[in-house]
Structure 1
Amino acid sequence: MKPILFLLLLTASYLQAQTASDSTALLQGSWEIQNLPKGIIWKKIHFQNNELFKANQSINILELPRKSRQFSWALTTADSLPKTDKTKGQLRPTSQIAQENGAIVGVNGGFFDVKNGGSVDFFKSQGYISDTTRALKGSTAAFHGKAAVVIANKKLKILKGEPQVGWEYHLPYKDVMLSGPLLLLNGQPEILAKNAFNDNRHPRTCVCITHHNKVLLITVDGRSSQSFGMNLPELTFLARQLGCRDALNLDGGGSTTMWIANQGVVNYPSDNKKFDHEGERAVSNVLLAIPK
């Protein structure tokens, strides 16, 4: 069995759109695997000839220890200085934010206000709340505000929140990033609403905690004939096949970016409508691993 499926090979019966042939494609695919510094493993594959979900797919995965003596997890904003007012937030490419913070790897983070800058959901970094455009309106949290990734005792943790607005303000953590939808919790798929965001194929970014206590950062490229992207049931299927116990969807589309030190942007961001490494979108926040 190839290392990429070192945990589980699960059936596809819970989602009709995915089949045993998709499991086989993931198992037998020609994954490129590279060991990076600090105990990080980079895995990538480009499925062509409509091999996965009857489509072309380009997937990058970073496998990291959930807690390490060699690096620290960081949730970081594009704002160079803490903001104490409602002025316009900054937006910068994932690669730039990662380099400015001396990171070794990073992916884009949660959803943000493209026009005004700033996260549209609760975002706390080192105890500072920087949700610059979010307003506590109504009673029901948005689909991208019902789960979170947090840093707890120097480890990443994925949490399922409450349905009501404001649940996150009671979390006892200094680093919190809301996102969603939640895909997996304790190995079981969450119920996903039937809507265009969930059901249509787009570039996707995902963070997972595996059954073997590893973190997987996953990007799936899309909006190209070279890589169609995935809907969220397909992304959930992929996460389960990779052995994920908990999995959370992050901002995707043109935001989807994976950056590695000394490698640069390794996926194919879609904002320039080309299948190359140059199409990064400026974003509000990122998830990084920073060397100690």
Structure 2
Amino acid sequence: MSNALQFFQSTRQQLRDWSWFKRSLLGFTILTFMVSSFMFLTPVGTEMRIWMANTVIITQHRDWAWIFVGTEQRDSMLQKMRQFIEENAEEKQQFNMVTVQPNFALTRKNRSIDELIKVEDVSGTFWKGKRMYVYDPKSIRLMTPEKPGEGEKISSMVKRTGAVAGVNAGGFDDPEGLGNGFAAIGAVISGGEVIYTDQDSSVAQHIVGFTKEGTLVIGKYNMFELQEMGISEAASFYPRVIANGKPLPINDVSRAPRTGVGQKADGTVIFIVADGRSTQSVGATLKEIQELFLADDVVNAGFLDGGASSELVVNGELVTKPSSRYGERRLPSAYLVYDHPEDAVANRVWDGLTTINAGGAFDHPDFLKEQAALKAKAKNNPAPATTPTPTKPTETETKTETKAPATNTGTTKPSGTTEPTKPSTQSDATKPAQGTDSSKTTTTPAAGGNKDNGKETTPPASTQQGGSGNPVTTDPTKPAEHTPTGTGAAGAGATNPTTNPTPTTGGSSQQGQGDHSGTGSTSAPATNPTTPAASDAAKNTPASSGDTSSKINTPATGDTGAKNTPPANVPVPSSPTAPPNGSTSTTVVPSGSTSVPVK
């Protein structure tokens, strides 16, 4: 005993240590094992499985019954059900068992509803419904839809034709439970005329109808036999459960919405409509309806279409609860009760049609309205937008951003201020200066020489305008000449000691921009960077973070190959200070960059 207690306590402790998922999985496994054992290993469970399989078989999804009993037993159950339906329809009906009593109250005009019918509640163990007594069987007429292409609701038929009450009649093709109610199955007869049939006249069909004298006929007959019996109204459905006063065997224990019809010996017709497929009413079995008919001394009884089509309308109002989620269904036929049945004429809506469309979800008005409402609701209440998670830049993108060359947007003045470049469609290196002939403007060759026919050649001498306007020649292969520095305007009244030869072809003749007085342009004298004057100027210039005097040779915007260090033997200004007003200094930059005049 102590060992069992210790085992129980240790097991309970282990279960407590498990996560909720493991505990839920264990509970589900135990429950599944217990239910399966009960359903497959006990007699009660076996009966429940057979009942559920029968319930599925009588629907449009009968193939799914294998889930409860397997495919082999399902097929066997289907075969037995068809067999009992056919066997119950074989016995021929004895018409002398029913005598419709003539009654003045039933033959006079303008009868009240109470004189024609009586409607009362009826119920069973698991279902509720309505029972309607029709005292005059001759007041019953089969009615068809108003227009071709779709069925019609019973309430609409009742109001349109002035009927007192109505109940569903024959079956029809119903794709996905959303059919249009127009594709009737079997025969449709009204007023003694065959309105529709999907079989040859010689083929026997299941019939539930009335003769001209008001006798209910249930069984399997062909059109010739029906004509001999004087059938006036008829639709096709089954099974037959009472024949000539005797109950017939029933091999069906399923529960579903039902519509049954029977007749007493005095001619009174009884319709029973059982609601189903809901929590208030699960549905009735064929046996339960049969017993109700037998209790009313019915001599012949059978069933009309059931399921979601089962419904009863009285005085234009639906008094039952159809199992369809859309309420009343469109139907191809219905049995209606009239005070003046001779005035009711069924429409021949199938005449001339070569094909019949059964409909479906694509043209079901209630289904389409439901889908439109769902779409409108989704549109008015959109899902909340999700904030995208920012992504970190990749290593390649980071390197690309780090190595991106910075662009210079202006030319640095010696005083430390930056002047933005002037917009131009032509680079300053090739644009002629003001007051000069553009035909005499040439480009500056690249430092280090140019190439002629693939051979390296010595770059030609470059020239500059001296203070007097004479060109100054600078040979890149020789050291630059020292030029004295003036104290006034650069080069004013000074003479360059070097010879001023005529500029050669291929040289760069860059002229300075003229001043506003029109006295001509001047250029800063060439100075050797190693002269004492330049060194002293560099020493006497205070260092600061804003001092940009050392950047006078920084290439302008668009320069892709220039360096900050000036090329060898290129003249630079002798002083970082700005020239006085009235003079202009030009900075010489390497080939490929843009030369910007510094004021």
Q: Normalising by structure 2, report the TM-score.
A: 0.35
- Residues 120-173 of structure 1 show CA distances to partners (whole Å, capped at 9, x for unaligned) of 1111112332326x234996x5xxx333212322x24223334x7975465433
1:37 aligns with 2:114: yes
1:168/1:178 CA distance change after superposition, 3 Å: farther
Mapping 1:153-232, distance limit 5 Å: 153=213, 155-162=214-221, 168=226, 171-192=229-250, 194=251, 198-232=252-286
Query: Which residues of structure 1 form unaligned runs of 5+?
Result: 1-34, 81-87, 273-277
1:92 alignment counterpart: 152
- Residues 58-105 of structure 1 show CA distances to partners (whole Å, capped at 9, x for unaligned) of 12011121346xxx221111144xxxxxxx643111111121111001
2:133 alignment counterpart: 63
Secondary structure at the aligned position of 2:259 is classed as: strand
| Distance (Å, rounded) in 2 between the aligned partners of 1:286 and 1:156 | 18
| Distance (Å, rounded) in 1 between the aligned partners of 2:261 and 2:306 | 12
From 186, 191, 197, give the equivalent of 1:121.
Answer: 186
Q: Indicate the RMSD between aligned Cα atoms, in angstroms.
A: 2.7
Secondary structure at the aligned position of 2:236 is classed as: strand
Q: Normalising by structure 1, report the TM-score.
A: 0.68
Mapping 1:11-30, distance limit 5 Å: none
The structural deviation recorded for 1:254 is: 0.4
Larger helix share, 1 or 2: 2
The structural deviation recorded for 1:107 is: 0.3
| Distance (Å, rounded) in 1 between the aligned partners of 2:337 and 2:115 | 10
1:111 alignment counterpart: 171
Identity of aligned residues (%): 24
CA contact (8 A) 1:182 1:249 kept: yes
The structural deviation recorded for 1:251 is: 0.3
Secondary structure at the aligned position of 2:277 is classed as: coil
1:89/1:246 CA distance change after superposition, 3 Å: farther
| Distance (Å, rounded) in 2 between the aligned partners of 1:212 and 1:175 | 19
1:152 aligns with 2:212: yes
Q: Which amino acid aligns with 1:269?
A: P
| Distance (Å, rounded) in 2 between the aligned partners of 1:119 and 1:99 | 22
Query: Which residues of structure 2 form unaligned runs of 5+?
Result: 1-111, 341-599
Q: Which has the larger radius of gyration?
A: 2
Larger strand share, 1 or 2: 1
| Distance (Å, rounded) in 2 between the aligned partners of 1:44 and 1:79 | 31
1:270 alignment counterpart: 323
> Higher relative CO (CA 8 A, sep ≥ 6), structure 1 or 2?
1
- Residues 13-70 of structure 1 show CA distances to partners (whole Å, capped at 9, x for unaligned) of xxxxxxxxxxxxxxxxxxxxxx94334211114x5xxxx3xx32112011121346xx
CA contact (8 A) 1:161 1:167 kept: no
| Distance (Å, rounded) in 2 between the aligned partners of 1:237 and 1:58 | 15
The structural deviation recorded for 1:258 is: 0.3
Report the number of matched residues: 224
2:141 alignment counterpart: 74
The structural deviation recorded for 1:243 is: 2.5
